[in-house]
Amino acid sequence: MTDFDYDLFVIGAGSGGVRASRIAASHGARVAVAEEFRIGGTCVIRGCVPKKLLVYGSHFAHGLHDAAQYGWTIDGARFDWATLRDFVARDVDRLEKAYTSTLDSNKVEHFAERAVVAGPNAVRLASGREISAKVILIAVGAWPVMPEIDGAEHCITSNEVFHLPELPTRVVIQGAGYIALEFAGIFNALGSHVTVVNRSDRILRGYDEDLTDRLLPIMQARGIEFGFNRPIRKVEKRADGSLLVHAGGGDPIPADAVMVATGRKPKTDGLGLESAGVALGHNGAIPVNEFGQTSCPSIYAVGDVTDRVQLTPVAIREGHAFADTVFGANLRSVSYDHIPSAVFSQPPLAAVGLTEAQARAVHGQVKVFSSDFRPMQNMFSVVAERGYYKLVVDPLTDVVLGVHMIGPDAPEILQAAAIAVKAGLTKADFDATVALHPSMAEELVLMR
219, 184 contact by CB (below 8 A): yes
Q: In what order do the strands lie in the sheet with 193-197?
A: 225-227, 193-197, 170-174, 257-260
92-100, 255-263, 265-273, 371-379 -> range binding ligand NDP (CB under 6 A): 255-263
Cβ burial 420-435 (10 Å sphere, 16+ → b, else e)? bbeeebebeebeeeee
363, 447 contact by CB (below 8 A): no
- Residue selected from 180, 286, 315, 392 as contacting ligand NDP according to rule CB under 6 A: 180
Q: Measured from the CB of residue 201, what is the shortest distance to ligand NDP in angstroms?
A: 8
Q: Residues 260 to 299: which contact ligand NDP by CB under 6 A?
A: 261-264
Q: Measured from the CB of residue 198, what is the shortest distance to ligand NDP in angstroms?
A: 5
Nearer to ligand NDP, 177 or 328 (CB): 177
375, 408 contact by CB (below 8 A): yes
55-63, 164-172, 193-201, 436-444 -> range binding ligand NDP (CB under 6 A): 193-201
The catalytic residues are 437
Q: How far apart are CA 32 and CA 132, in angstroms?
A: 11
98-106, 133-141, 198-206, 420-428 -> range binding ligand NDP (CB under 6 A): 198-206
- Residue selected from 58, 268, 310, 378 as contacting ligand NDP according to rule CB under 6 A: 310
Q: Measured from the CB of residue 343, what is the shortest distance to ligand NDP in angstroms?
A: 5
Q: By CB under 6 A, how many residues form the interface with ligand NDP?
A: 24
Q: Measured from the CB of residue 331, what is the shortest distance to ligand NDP in angstroms?
A: 27
Q: Measured from the CB of residue 342, what is the shortest distance to ligand NDP in angstroms?
A: 5
Nearer to ligand NDP, 109 or 225 (CB): 225
- Residue selected from 119, 120, 151, 231 as contacting ligand NDP according to rule CB under 6 A: 231
- Residue selected from 6, 9, 143, 178 as contacting ligand NDP according to rule CB under 6 A: 178
Cβ burial 253-282 (10 Å sphere, 16+ → b, else e)? bebbbbbbbbebbbbbeebbbeebebebee
Angle, helices 81-105/48-69, rounded to nearest 10 degrees? 140
- Residue selected from 12, 175, 319, 408 as contacting ligand NDP according to rule CB under 6 A: 175
165-173, 212-220, 336-344, 385-393 -> range binding ligand NDP (CB under 6 A): 336-344
Contact string 57-96 vs ligand NDP (x = CB under 6 A): ----------------------------------------
In a 13 Å sphere around the CA of 442, the CA atoms on its Cβ side amount to: 9
355 touches ligand NDP by CB under 6 A: no
Strands 109-111 and 31-34: parallel
Q: Measured from the CB of residue 199, what is the shortest distance to ligand NDP in angstroms?
A: 4
Closest CA to 196 of 265, 150, 255, 145: 255
Nearer to ligand NDP, 147 or 151 (CB): 147
DSSP code of residue 166? S
Q: Measured from the CB of residue 387, what is the shortest distance to ligand NDP in angstroms?
A: 18
Q: How far apart are CA 66 and CA 72, in angstroms?
A: 9
Nearer to ligand NDP, 190 or 351 (CB): 351
DSSP code of residue 95? H
Position with the least CB separation from ligand NDP = 177
Closest CA to 344 of 223, 228, 245, 204: 204
Instruction: List residues bridging with 259 in a β-sheet.
Output: 156, 173
Q: Measured from the CB of residue 407, what is the shortest distance to ligand NDP in angstroms?
A: 16
Q: How far apart are CA 131 and CA 30, in angstroms?
A: 13
Sign of CA dihedral 99, 104, 105, 108: positive
SS (HEC) of 31-94: EEEECCCCCCHHHHHHCHHHHHHHHHHHHHHHHHHHHHHCCCCCCCCCCCHHHHHHHHHHHHHH
12-20, 102-110, 195-203, 213-221 -> range binding ligand NDP (CB under 6 A): 195-203
User: Which residues bind to ligand NDP, rule: CB under 6 A?
Assistant: 147, 175-180, 182, 198-200, 202, 205, 231, 261-264, 310-311, 341-344
